[in-house]
């Protein structure tokens, strides 16, 4: 087994980015259940994110979603973050919530709609310039509902044209993270349905274009860790949108539905040398019925637990068993690490950093939940308004 000191050192370099939208109200297409104390502004979302970082010590960056987090002065928003020990992370573009996008955004058959969508993507890069964000995250809801509705190849050409324009606009240190999703909202065909399509576009664009793996965006039974291993091997894994799914894109807390899958993914990250700042560990979740801040703290802890277990895998013993063709032995090495209770190690790691060993309990004792309910009266609660 890897010594716990080495595991702790590796854990200290991990950053888990929380999504601004997870702090706001959310729901399904049937109902959004509002929660008392939910932020009304991007600034209040950052105030909540600062609590998550305060208790976990590993969540110093917050992803924004535009226009959900639109403000007049992004440099001032970045300063608001800085004052709370945070940085602004990935800028997520939104070309899926306007009437114009009914038939697509950058792949729409009408050039005027494509221009509008592209202008939004460019605006997102302007925002990155102001916030100092490195990553532009692109997810397109584009697709078709019926065979023959539009030309599959022409839509790929339009997509490539828009991505090229955005790529050329990126600064030296900026990256484009292209997200894929097999299903939803288009029913027949999605324009970026899988990692292969995203990878093909990224490959043509250049090294600043990277694929992002949202764990909820695959068919049931997909071997996500294989995708992770492959993208890392090709130098194209830009990051993760972590969440859990039982049925579709459920956006539940990462590690809740299938902690073993999360471990297998993190093992491939460790194995592939992806445990670096080049791979962004982002959450993309919504907390519809559970209190949001403790759920986000729990999610961060779940990522840490899976990471610690992956770091504990005895690489030498595993390689030896694999070389010897020892099927059961090799599997046992992996399972030994998975079955290790890493909670005491993580509690120790937290105490060494001056953190409470139990972040959720510490949050509950902090009084923040009561404070925001009392203070955040009036105004319009943030949410994506389903
Ligand atoms: C789409 O399902 C997605 O995963 C994209 O990342 C969006 O930006 C995000 O969800 C919105 O919650
Ligand atoms: Mn996502």
237 beta partners: 211
Look at residue 327 and tell me if it is in a domain: no
Q: Supply the pLDDT for residue 3.
A: 76
Task: Count the residues in the chain.
Answer: 386
**Residue 157, domain member (yes or no):** yes
pLDDT band, very low/low/confident/very high, at 195 (cuts 50, 70, 90): very high
Hey, whose CA ends up nearest to atom 7 of ligand 1?
A: 139
For ligand 1, atom 5: residue with the closest CA: 139
Dist CA 269 CA 381 (whole Å): 37
**Residue tagged 């349905």 (tokens):** 193
Report the CATH number that the domain containing residue 24 is assigned in CATH: 3.20.20.150
Q: Which residues contact 327 (CB under 8 A, 6 or more apart)?
A: none
Measure 241 CA to ligand 2 centroid, in angstroms: 5
Could you tell which of 29, 215, 284 is best to mutate to test the pocket of ligand 1, judged by most ligand atoms within 8 Å of the CB? 284
> Residue 191 pLDDT more than 70?
yes
Residue 41 lies in a domain: yes
CA dist 149 → 116, 140, 183, 186, 335 (Å): 22, 18, 17, 12, 48
171: left (phi over 0), alpha (psi -120 to 50) or beta: beta
Confidence of residue 1 (pLDDT cuts 50, 70, 90): low
Residue 328 lies in a domain: no
The mean per-residue pLDDT over the stretch 67-84 comes to 98
| Closest CA to ligand 1's atom 10 | 284
The average pLDDT across 11-26 equals 96
Q: Taking a C-beta distance cutoff of 8 angstroms, is the pair 164, 114 a contact? A: no
Domain encompassing residue 31: 11-311+342-375
| Beta-ladder partners of 137 | 92, 177
The DSSP bridge pattern shows strands 143-144 and 87-93 to be: unpaired
**Quick one: pLDDT at residue 153?**
98
> Structural domain tally of the chain?
1
Site to probe by mutation for ligand 1, drawn from 91, 179, 213 as the one with most ligand atoms within 8 Å of Cβ, is: 179
Is 386 part of a structural domain of the chain?
A: no
* pLDDT-derived band at 385, boundaries 50, 70, 90: low
Q: Note whether residue 272 is domain-resident.
A: yes
> Does 298 reside within a domain?
yes
Which mutation among 177, 193, 214, 386 tests ligand 1's pocket best, with the greatest number of atoms within 8 A of CB?
A: 214
Q: Say what the pLDDT of residue 386 is.
A: 45
Span 41-58, pLDDT tens digits: 999 999 999 999 999 999
Tell me, using a 6 A CB cutoff, whether residue 356 lines ligand 1: no
Residue 22 lies in a domain: yes
């Amino acid at each position: 087994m890897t010594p716990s000191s080495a595991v702790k050192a590796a854990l200290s370099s991990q950053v888990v980015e929380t999504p601004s939208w997870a702090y706001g109200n959310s729901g399904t297409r049937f109902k959004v259940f509002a929660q008392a104390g939910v932020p009304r502004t991007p600034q209040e979302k950052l105030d909540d994110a600062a609590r998550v970082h305060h208790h976990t010590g590993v969540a110093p960056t917050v992803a924004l979603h535009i226009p959900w987090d639109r403000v007049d002065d992004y440099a001032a928003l970045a300063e608001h973050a800085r004052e709370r020990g945070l940085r602004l992370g990935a800028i997520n573009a939104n070309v899926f919530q306007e009437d114009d996008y009914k038939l697509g955004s950058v792949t729409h058959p009408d050039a005027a709609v494509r221009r509008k969508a592209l202008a939004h993507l460019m605006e997102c890069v302007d925002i990155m310039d102001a916030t100092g964000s490195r990553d532009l995250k692109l997810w397109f809801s584009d697709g078709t509902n019926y065979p023959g509705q539009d030309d599959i190849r022409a839509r790929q050409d339009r997509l490539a044209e828009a991505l090229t324009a955005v790529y050329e606009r990126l600064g030296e240190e900026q990256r484009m993270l292209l997200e894929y999703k097999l299903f939803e909202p288009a029913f027949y065909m999605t324009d970026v349905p899988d990692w292969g399509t995203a990878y093909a576009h990224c490959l043509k664009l250049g090294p600043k274009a990277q694929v992002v793996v949202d764990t909820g965006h695959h068919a049931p039974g997909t071997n996500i860790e294989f995708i992770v291993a492959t993208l890392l091997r090709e130098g194209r894994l830009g990051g993760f949108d972590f969440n859990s799914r039982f049925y579709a894109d459920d956006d539940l807390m990462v590690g809740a539905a299938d902690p073993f899958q999360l471990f297998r993914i993190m093992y491939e990250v460790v194995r592939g040398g992806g445990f670096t700042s080049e791979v962004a560990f982002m959450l993309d979740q919504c907390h519809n019925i559970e209190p949001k801040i403790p759920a986000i703290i729990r999610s961060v802890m779940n990522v840490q637990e899976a990471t610690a277990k992956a770091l504990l895998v005895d690489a030498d013993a595993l390689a030896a068993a694999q070389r010897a063709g020892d099927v059961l032995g090799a599997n046992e090495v992996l399972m030994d690490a998975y079955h290790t209770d890493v909670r005491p190690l993580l509690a120790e790691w937290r105490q060494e950093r001056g953190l409470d060993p139990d972040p959720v309990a510490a949050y509950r004792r902090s009084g923040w939940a009561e404070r925001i309910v009392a203070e955040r009266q009036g105004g319009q609660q943030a949410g994506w308004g389903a």
